[in-house]
Amino acid sequence: MQAAQLVLGLLVVVAVLVTAARQLRTPYPVLLLIGGVALGAIPGVPRIELPPDTLLALVLPPIVYVAAFFTPFRGFRQDIGNIGSLAIGLVLASIFAVAGVALAVVPGMTVPIAIALGAIVSPPDEVAATAVMQRLAVPRRLIALLDGEALLNDATALIVYRVSLTAAVTSVAVLTIQPLANFFVVAVGGIAIGLAVGWLIAQVRSRLEDVPVELTVSLATPYLAYVPADLLGVSGILAAVTAGLYLGRRSSRIMGSDVRVAGRAVWEMLIFLLNGVVFLMIGLEISALARSMDRAVLLELAAAGVLVSVTLIAVRAVWLAGIGVWQRLISHEQPPLRAAEIVVLSWSGMRGVVSLAAALAIPMAINDGSPLPARAAVIVVTFTVILVTLVGQGLTLPLVIKAVHLG
């Protein structure tokens, strides 16, 4: 009964806060985060505790799968250069920049854990940014770029995250040949499994004629790609993304219009609920951490989180400026990004669901049973980055868009 009451309470709070966000013309993740922090400060509100890797395995596969499935493939292919640069190059640059900062300012930090922290906070969450851009009628290309970036940056970051954590728990040097080779094995293996699952599901769905059964298969597909990939030690997220791209491109051939319409409605509701509950949980966890840690330690780690946030914003701005220079001077395959577009994209790097799930999925101990170094520090820094970027950038992005006359 208590679990049912908790779920009901979360859904009611999500509905109320999202309605308020729309009335206030504020990105709903921002208000959910603030509401979660306020709710968590109320005495007696229960803390939601999940096993470390549950959130990562439960929430991320459907989110990345449905984003891939509904991605317009033609637009994705036309801007693949910019998308690849942001989702791979920028993510890797952010990872190592954050790792350097963490090693310098976070007590007890090791190289593998610092790289894992970089991987946790490097992929932006596009939900808040795209909500603002759609409301202010920003050029469609920018929204497509953010959607395409979000499609692949999670996979890039989580592959590095997996490799660095493996090095941390096994005491293997993370910058040797073995972990670097593992990166490519994990990526290629995830893509291969995603293609295999996508092909198999396409064969099954093309033979189904019952709408509820088709929708059930659709809901199961991201997990059918993620679970075997994860069990085999390759990228489950990349498998889910690949399966989504494969099936999305073939959707008109393997399913009828009634299934496509019903499927979009079901998926939109599910992803909305997942995002809503997770953003609310982020706020609740921030309050719980603030109560459970020594104040001096908490403030020191929060300051490190602010420094990491500034680093992420600076690296993103420099990288996007570099893309603009490259397009104007060397590449003539597509219209270059304008200065106003670069400014808006630079300020659109809010962190959210992926960062939370990855931070909470860090193992408690290494192989010999001793505690994993700096685990609590990673979680506090991550939550600080989410708070700074989601609230700070989320609330000011409309002002930035209007200031550069883009919306």
pLDDT in tens, 74-129: 777 778 888 899 999 999 999 999 999 999 999 889 999 999 999 999 999 888 78
Confirm if 155 and 68 have CB atoms less than 8 A apart: no
- The residues with which 365 forms a beta bridge, in sequence order, are 371
Q: Give me the pLDDT at residue 180, please.
A: 63
Selection from 284, 353, 361 nearest residue 121 by Cα: 353
Could you tell me if residue 247 is inside a domain? yes
Residue 376: inside a domain, yes or no?
Answer: yes
3-state secondary structure of 294: coil
CA distance 27 to 21: 6
- For 44, left (φ over 0), alpha (ψ -120 to 50), or beta? left
pLDDT at 93: 97
- DSSP secondary structure of 323-385: HHHHHHHT--SSPPPPHHHHHHHHT-----HHHHHHHHTS-SB-TTSSBPTTHHHHHHHHHHH
Residue 1 has a pLDDT of 46
State the chain's mean pLDDT as an integer: 86
Q: How far apart are CA 271 and CA 267, in angstroms?
A: 6
83 within domain boundaries: yes
The residues pairing with 371 across neighbouring beta strands, listed in sequence order, are 365
Report the alpha-carbon distance of residue 195 to residue 396 in Å, rounded. 40
Q: Which residue has the higher pLDDT, 161 or 331?
A: 161
Round to the nearest angstrom and report the end-to-end CA distance of the chain.
48
Is residue 365 situated within a structural domain? no
Strands annotated E in 180-246: none
Q: Write out pLDDT tens, residues 164-180.
A: 888 887 766 555 556 56
Could you tell me the two tokens for 44? 């007696």
Q: Is 4 part of any domain? A: no
The predicted pLDDT at position 348 comes to: 93
Asked if pLDDT for residue 305 goes beyond 90, the answer is yes
Mean pLDDT in residue range 180-204: 89
Q: State the burial class of residue 378 (Cβ atoms within 10 Å of its Cβ: 0-12, 13-18, 19+).
A: buried
Q: Locate 65 and state its tokens.
A: 């799968």
- Give the number of domains in the chain: 1
Domain hosting 378: range is: 10-359+370-403
Q: What is the pLDDT of residue 332?
A: 61
Could you tell me if residue 1 is inside a domain? no
Domain annotation covers residue 215: yes
pLDDT tens-digit readout, 203-253: 999 888 888 999 999 999 999 999 999 999 898 999 999 999 999 988 888
Q: In this predicted structure, what is the pLDDT of residue 58?
A: 87
Report yes or no: 68 and 240 within 8 Å, Cβ to Cβ. Answer: yes
pLDDT at 340: 92
User: What's the angle, vertex CA 285, arms to CA 279 and CA 289, rounded to 5?
Assistant: 150
Q: What is the mean pLDDT of residues 137-157?
A: 87
The Cα–Cα gap between 314 and 306 comes to 12
Which pLDDT does position 267 carry in this prediction? 92
Q: What is the CATH number of the domain that holds 200?
A: 1.20.1530.20
Q: Is 397 contained in some domain? A: yes
pLDDT per residue over 308-350, tens digit each?
A: 999 999 999 999 999 888 887 776 656 788 899 999 999 999 9
